[in-house]
Amino acid sequence: MATSEKKIPVTVLTGFLGSGKTTLLNRILTEQHGKRIAVIENEFGEIGIDQALVINADEEVFEMNNGCICCTVRGDLIRILGNLVRRKDKFDHVLVETTGMADPSPVAQTFFVDDEIGSQFQLDGIVTMVDARHVSLHIDESDECKEQIAFGDVIIINKTDLVTPEEADRVERRIRSMNALARVQRAVKGQVPIESVLDVGGFDLGRALKQKPAFLEPEYPFEWGGVYALQPGQASLVLGDGPDASMDVALVPVDSADEAGLKAGAETAVRFWSRSPSRRVSGNALAAGNTHFQLDFTKEKGRKAYPLSVPREGLYALFTEHGPEEYALRVEDPAGGFLKCRAERPFGAGHSHDETVASVGIHLEGDVDQHRLNAWLSKVLQEQGTDIFRMKGILAIAGQKNRYVFQGVHMLFDGQPDKPWGKTPRANDLVFIGRNLDREALTEGFRKCLK
């Protein structure tokens, strides 16, 4: 038998025309990073670097005759990678650039479906570049843009110098709400550390485990939280005009003006949202306590002020359905001065712009029954495989000492046992990224797989 060698990592670079793919590609090819890179690109003549192996290819997507309707692969990649592998001493990384309007599924699926390619190459990650200024429009208008964001292991928001920091924040929040698993980076002229692009480990199941904190990030019904030091009868929440006719907010006392305080406050606030909000118009007070409020803007334009009613002097966190920049939101003292926000952070919003593409994260403690899980997953994938772009999970399977890690692309998936649970409490984390996902049905379905 020939000895099995280390697989060659492949990075897929996707993004709309004008997002800055070529700039990044040129940087990767010219910078000293010690890697020899073979590039498979789809357009002629852009790059002329001597030391790099550059192959031009037309994207040839075709369906596999395996009864799986969404199973498309890139025929040109199978052919070219099959040839390239014979020169594997000449390079140690492959970079595939897709056309601007490409759906990333066929590229990703190629590595799952074709045994020859899968045995020699390892899909390291999908890097999606977006243009900070135009991406919102692209998300609204194009399925391909949604898919590129949903598939990304790394999403680079490029050209942030062309937008205000608030706009960049908004774009980042929107992207995170669609794809909770990706690492989102900001860049100007494609300036990101090369290793953050070439060594992603997005399809490395062991690595997915290390990135667990991202998996566990719960979703909140609000996008932002900020801590203020308030005194009774002294401050008001002031808003300008914003995109929606109403916004939900809550005020919660917290212990500290830091991350921990905000997180604890957020957990309290989340419970308020399970009940109906109390309606408020400009001038009505917002009391810190046990409910959340719906600010109704339908009859009010321009400046709106809501006195913040607190029982005693202290730290309070304000949680808002939308980001503060969308409504020019601030807290004012009676003289009209701005109160300083002592700590703030964005929260992954579950509702977020009513995106059709979103992430659903499920965390459940306990053991799952393997047979029930298989039956449920096959049903979910059969019925919604075309709408589920990516899926990752770490499972505690009843009777197994080791964690089971898996990931999938549409209907295809791949899993393996990982390290033992040991003393760690056994729990399951599952994340779906897809279109029109029913969070409750997925969570309920998964819950039924528990022992």
Partner 1 sequence: MSQVKKKKGAGPRLHLVDAWTLEAAEYPRSLDWSADGELVALGAADGSLRFLDSARGTLLRTKSSGGGLTCVRWNPRQRLLAAASEDGACRVWQGSGELVAELPGKGGGWVEHVAWSPDGERLAIASGRTARVFTPSGEPVLETEAHPSTVTGLEWSPRGDALATICYGGVHLWPLVEGSPARHLPWKGSLISLAWSPDGEVIACGSQDCSVHFWRLGSGKDSEMTGYPAKPRELAWSKDSRLLATSGGAAICVWRFEGDGPEGTKPLLLKGHEDLLTALDFGGEALTLASGSKDRDVLLWRPGVTPKPVGLARMKDEVVLLRFSPDGRRLAAADATGHLEVWRVAEARVG
Residues forming the site for partner 1 (CB under 8 A) = 1-2, 55-56, 58, 60, 62-66, 73, 75-76, 78-79, 83, 86-87, 114-116
CA distance 39 to 87: 13
Element (H, E) at 357: strand 357-365
CA distance 38 to 145: 26
Nearer to partner 1, 98 or 428 (CB): 98
Nearer to partner 1, 115 or 440 (CB): 115
Minimum Å distance from CB 71 to partner 1? 10
CA distance 113 to 408: 12
Q: Which amino acid is at 79?
A: R
Minimum Å distance from CB 393 to partner 1? 28
Minimum Å distance from CB 73 to partner 1? 8
Nearer to partner 1, 79 or 379 (CB): 79
Minimum Å distance from CB 79 to partner 1? 7
Minimum Å distance from CB 75 to partner 1? 5
Nearer to partner 1, 2 or 335 (CB): 2
Nearer to partner 1, 46 or 167 (CB): 46
| Range list of β-strands (E), 149-256 | 154-158, 183-186, 224-230, 235-239, 246-253
Token pair of 451 as six digits: 């022992």
Minimum Å distance from CB 77 to partner 1? 11
Nearer to partner 1, 79 or 419 (CB): 79
Tokens 């670097």 found at: 49
Token pair of 302 as six digits: 């321009």
Nearer to partner 1, 75 or 218 (CB): 75
Of 135, 210, 141, 231, the residue nearest 179 (C-alpha): 135
DSSP string, 322-351: S-GGGTT-EEE-TTSPBPPPSEEEE--BSS
Tokens 């509702």 found at: 351
Minimum Å distance from CB 46 to partner 1? 14
Assign residue 97 a region (left: φ > 0; alpha: ψ between -120 and 50; beta: otherwise). beta
3-state SS assignment for residue 439:
helix
Nearer to partner 1, 55 or 287 (CB): 55
For the sheet with 183-186, list strands across it: 53-56, 37-41, 93-97, 8-15, 121-131, 154-158, 183-186
Nearer to partner 1, 46 or 344 (CB): 46
Phi–psi pair at 9, nearest 5 degrees? -75, 140
Minimum Å distance from CB 2 to partner 1? 5
CA distance 13 to 204: 17
Minimum Å distance from CB 382 to partner 1? 20
Phi–psi pair at 420, nearest 5 degrees? -65, 155
Which residue stretches of 69-114 are H helix?
A: 75-84, 105-113
Minimum Å distance from CB 322 to partner 1? 47
Give the Cβ contact number of residue 68 at 10 Å. 18
